[in-house]
Amino acid sequence: MASIAPEVCFRPLTIEEYEKLIEEFCCMETPMFPMTEERFAHVLWQCGFQYPDTGIEMLREEGKVQASKDAWGREAAEATWECLRKYETFCMEVACCCSLGTPYFSFQRAYLLACQKVRAEFGDIPSVAGMFGDQKLVSLDSFVKTFHPPRYGEDPKDDVYLVEFELAAPVRLKYVHEQLKFLRNAKKHETS
């Protein structure tokens, strides 16, 4: 039985992987860098770091962060990412992926695909859990997550768990109810 290399799954998204997801799922026309510290902390959070604001401040106090609060360049961002990675302050989703041998990139991509499907089915998402680039996100808690076991084949990609997100039934009912309420109100305004 083959095993996936630990460096593939025991880490959050890299800046490059984050950019790949932005390219795939967003319509951002402005370059990613430079960015503000607030925006960079949000990017780190989406990459899988827990409490990135605190981590950045701690690294600044230790003299490991030289970037200003208004202009984070790629070099400073990557150096900070590497420092935070060494502290291993990852969110629970990264830890879950690590325990299952699933790259966090696969988890995040499946999550973004699921959010995209919800937007396609229900239009504008009524309750937003945050933003990924210019895309609204549905709360992770709104989904049932399924990790399909590895297939262990010729291709090393077969050796990881596949992740699938399905909108939980109570959340789906809530969205359908909100959609019906919106349609009734629109029809009511048409007739008046």
Alpha-carbon span 123 to 126, nearest angstrom: 9
> What tokens appear for 66 in the block?
């030289």
**pLDDT for res 70:** 87
pLDDT digits (tens, 9 = 90+) for 45-73: 989 998 888 989 988 899 888 888 888 99
pLDDT category of residue 167 using cuts at 50, 70 and 90: very high
Q: What are phi and psi of 71, to 5 degrees?
A: -145, 85
Alpha-carbon span 161 to 55, nearest angstrom: 30
What's the CA dihedral at 21, 67, 11, 143 to 10 degrees?
-50
pLDDT category of residue 77 using cuts at 50, 70 and 90: very high
H/E segment holding residue 113: helix 104-122
Q: Is the pLDDT of residue 108 over 50?
A: yes
> What tokens appear for 69 in the block?
């609060």
Alpha-carbon span 152 to 191, nearest angstrom: 61
**pLDDT for res 1:** 39
Alpha-carbon span 46 to 111, nearest angstrom: 11
Residues in the chain: 192
Q: Is the pLDDT of residue 4 over 50?
A: no
Neighbours of 42 (CB within 10 A): 17
Once rounded to an integer, what is the mean pLDDT over residues 67-89? 89
> What tokens appear for 77 in the block?
């961002």
pLDDT category of residue 182 using cuts at 50, 70 and 90: confident
**pLDDT for res 131:** 74
Q: Is the pLDDT of residue 30 over 80?
A: no
Alpha-carbon span 47 to 21, nearest angstrom: 10
* pTM for this model (two decimals): 0.80
For the chain, what percent of residues have pLDDT higher than 70?
85
